[in-house]
Every structure is written in structure tokens, then in C-alpha cells.
Amino acid sequence: MPGFELFGDLERKEVHDVLDSGVLMRYGFDGMRNGHWKAKELEVELQCTFEVNHAQLVSSGTAAVSVALASAGVGAGDEVIMPTFTFVASFEAILMLGAIPVLVDIDDTLTLDPQAVEQAITPKTKAVMVVQMCGSMGHMDALRSLCDHHNLIFVEDACQAIGGTYNKKPLGSIADLGCFSFDFVKTITCGEGGAVITNNPKYYTHADYYSDHGHDHEGTDRGAETHPFLGYNFRISELHAAVGLAQIKRLPEFLTVQKKNYTLLRDAIARVPGVTFRKVPKGGVESYAFLNFFLPDLESARKVSAAFKQNGLDVCFHYYDNNWHYFRKWQHLSEQKSLYPLASEVKQGLQELQNKTFDQSDHYIGRNISCLIKLSWTEEQVQERARKMVSCIKSCL
């Protein structure tokens, strides 16, 4: 991770196909395409890779979450349970629909704590969204059971965990709807892009129409298509899809490299007293996109994070002090700093965040260091990195 590190001839070939045809839009212009339908081809590849019946490409991972929720009927006044540790796009995508993000604690998987989820369910709860942060998964069976018991929509944001599995099922394919991001720093990149996957034909049809202004995509005359319901523009371009089409074919190659580099680093720091690792639920296999480990306390984690930076160990994150990925720094959400007036139900739902604390989440995020695993590292670079990491951690403990 990220896939752009290994761009090569296959990516160039797919992009050149699009440029040669001159058709950058995924729909229409049949006669000009020379048979090239990159978005359609990528959707088929996604269906095969993730073992699902349907895949709908969209313009970003944020769009994927909004489209997935809208496709399942989530909207104004509905509550969507989500974790305190995720990217800001999670609550942005919920708010876009007029729904209310309800934040709950994470556990040692760094994803939703099922007990916290159950305690947060109210008559307004419509969906639960697990975010498979940093390459691994939550307690999927427990979360699935909760959603089934309470008749809730289960949404899986696997944007950071493409290639991981749970009980031999690809992450993203386990919930009612799965979401992926293919932005510039993901394992599979389109530059910008995302996807919704599902086995539910109704949700797929809704996603297909909704992401393209409500077009029904019936027939071959785009101008004659009807609009069964309102939609918006979340289309991906053929250029972006072309890059993704090349990258998805290389996913096994990328995962092999990630696992090798991850394992070398993990084996090295596992020998340092005081270091422990995130919990991977039984039956789970990480995507190896990130190495996540815990230190004894917040002070130790801050010292190690600073030491990493001083010694040139980039792409290692202490999310407790990060502005994008942890609730502690989301003042623009808790203080409702919106350019436009928020609906009264949303304002009321967000009000409690101003004084809300998440001690359990602080306990885990405060002690966690998350290191992105690059694809371009040589084995020598990984070994040298491992030595530096061990030295920094030992000096701080």
C-alpha cells in the first residue's frame, strides 16, 4: 500500500485504450469506444474478486458510503452507528443524507465494540457501519447477529482493508453492503474512485441509478432513459476506472509484498518487551496494509512516535493526536461547523458530542502506533527499518 508505487505497463495500456478512444465517460458514446468499457470491466472484476453478485463503481470511497446507505433507504433523521476511530469521510457520508452519525467506542480490534453498539441502539437506529481500519476487521459474527436481531442494515466500510478476509470471505462482502475506496493512497488505486458491493439486487439497482442522477440505464439511448427516483452525480470516469482495472488484476501481487514486509517488521518488534498487537478476530486474515501495535501507555506512545519521526521512520501514525482519524480532534463535527444550516434532528443528535468522552477508545488509540506498509520497499530497506523501529522503541520504554 499504496498501489501507485508499482505503476507499470498494465496501467499505461489500460489508460492508453481510453485516450485512444477519446471517451472519458463511463456511459454512452457506444460507437466511439472501440469496444472499451473500463468501468464495466472493473465492476465484473470486483464481483469476481469479492465473490459478490453486484458491484457499482462511484467517484470516491465517501460517495460509496453515501450511496450504500441511500440505496438501503437511510436518510433524514435516521441514526447510523459508527466508530470513534475512522476517517472523517464516515460521518461526512452520513450527514450528506441528513442522517445522524452516532459514535461509539472501539475495542482492541481497533473497530466497533459490539457491546458499545448494542448500548447505542435506539428506535431511530437504522444502520450499523463497521469500519475495517488499518487492514483488519471487527467481530463480524457478533455485529451481524446484533443487526439481524434488531432488524438493522449492516454496512461494511472496507476502504482500508481490501484483500483481508474473515472466515475465508473477502472483507467488504460480509455485510449487507460493502464499500471500498480507490483513492491515491489505497492498495488498489484509481487516483480517485470507490465501489459499493452487495448480493442484494434491490440495493444494487438503487446504487446504479442513484449514483447517476437517477438514470435507469435501460436501452442504448441515454437521452431516452427515465428517472425512477432522485439521484446525484457520483460517477467514476473511464480514465480512473482504467487505472483501477489494471490494479485489481495485480491485487494478489500487492498482498504478497505487503505480507512479506509486514511480517519482517512484526517479527522484529514482537521481541521487544512491552509491545503488544491489535486483536485479529479468530478466522480473520489481515490485508497487511498496516502494522498496528500497542505500547504500555499514552506517554510511551507519544515518545515512540516522536522518536520515529526524528529517525526518518515515515508513514507511522499516532492517531490519538491525528486531526483526521480520531474523534478527539473532530471539533468541526462536535461544534457543528457547517457552511449551511443543519436539520434540527441532526443538530440535536450531534449536541451530545460536545461533552461526550470515549475512555475505552482513548485507552486503545492513545497507546496505538499504526505503520503503513509500503510496496516499494526493498528487503534491505525493511530490515533497516525494523532495526530502527526496535531501537527507537527500546530507547523510549
Domain ranges of the chain: 3-250, 252-396
What is the reported pLDDT for 278?
Answer: 98
Across the range 29-39, mean pLDDT stands at 95
Q: Determine the Cα–Cα distance for residues 179 and 234; give it in Å rounded to an integer.
A: 14
CATH class name, domain 3-250: alpha beta
Q: 3-state class of 208 per DSSP? A: helix
What is the reported pLDDT for 311?
Answer: 97
Q: For residue 249, what pLDDT band results from cuts at 50, 70 and 90?
A: very high
Across the range 80-104, mean pLDDT stands at 98
Dihedrals φ, ψ of 328, to 5°? -55, -30
Q: Determine the Cα–Cα distance for residues 63 and 46; give it in Å rounded to an integer.
A: 17
Query: How high does pLDDT run on average in the chain?
Result: 97
Q: Report the candidate in 142, 241, 118 with the shortest Cα–Cα distance to residue 182.
A: 241
Reported as a single tens digit per residue, the pLDDT across 370-384 is 999 999 999 999 999
Reported as a single tens digit per residue, the pLDDT across 77-89 is 999 999 999 999 9
Reported as a single tens digit per residue, the pLDDT across 174-188 is 999 999 999 999 999
What is the reported pLDDT for 330?
Answer: 97
Q: What stretches of the chain adopt beta strand conformation (E)?
A: 54-58, 79-83, 100-104, 125-131, 153-157, 165-166, 169-170, 177-181, 194-198, 276-277, 284-285, 290-294, 316-317, 368-372
Q: 3-state class of 273 per DSSP? A: coil
Reported as a single tens digit per residue, the pLDDT across 300-327 is 999 999 999 999 999 999 999 999 999 9
What is the reported pLDDT for 110?
Answer: 98
What is the reported pLDDT for 97?
Answer: 98
Q: For residue 19, what pLDDT band results from cuts at 50, 70 and 90?
A: very high
What is the reported pLDDT for 315?
Answer: 96
What is the reported pLDDT for 335?
Answer: 97
Q: For residue 95, what pLDDT band results from cuts at 50, 70 and 90?
A: very high
Query: What is the separation, in whole angstroms, between the first and last Cα of the chain?
Result: 29
What is the reported pLDDT for 380?
Answer: 98
Reported as a single tens digit per residue, the pLDDT across 156-166 is 999 999 999 99
Reported as a single tens digit per residue, the pLDDT across 40-49 is 999 999 999 9
What is the reported pLDDT for 349?
Answer: 96
Q: For residue 128, what pLDDT band results from cuts at 50, 70 and 90?
A: very high
What is 252-396's CATH superfamily?
Aspartate Aminotransferase, domain 1 (3.90.1150.10)
164 neighbors 188 (Cβ within 8 angstroms)? no
Q: Report the candidate in 277, 197, 218, 289 with the shortest Cα–Cα distance to residue 5.
A: 289
Q: For residue 96, what pLDDT band results from cuts at 50, 70 and 90?
A: very high
Percentage of residues of the chain with pLDDT beyond 70? 100
